Amino acid sequence: MPLSEDEQRILRQIEEQLQRDPGFARDLRPAAGTSRRSLLLSVAGGVVAVCICVLLLAVSPYLAFVAFVVAMAAVVYAERHARALGDEAMRQVAAMRRNASGAGRHDGT
* Ranges of each domain in the chain: 32-103
Confidence of residue 67 (pLDDT cuts 50, 70, 90): very high
The CA distance from 70 to 48, in Å, is 10
The CA distance from 104 to 61, in Å, is 39
Q: Which residue has the higher pLDDT, 100 or 73?
A: 73
User: Can you give the pTM of this predicted structure?
Assistant: 0.51
Under 8 Å between Cβ of 77 and 42: yes
Q: Which residue has the higher pLDDT, 53 or 85?
A: 53
Average pLDDT score over the chain = 78
Summarised one tens digit per residue, pLDDT across range 10-57 is 888 877 777 777 666 555 555 555 567 788 888 899 999 999 999 999
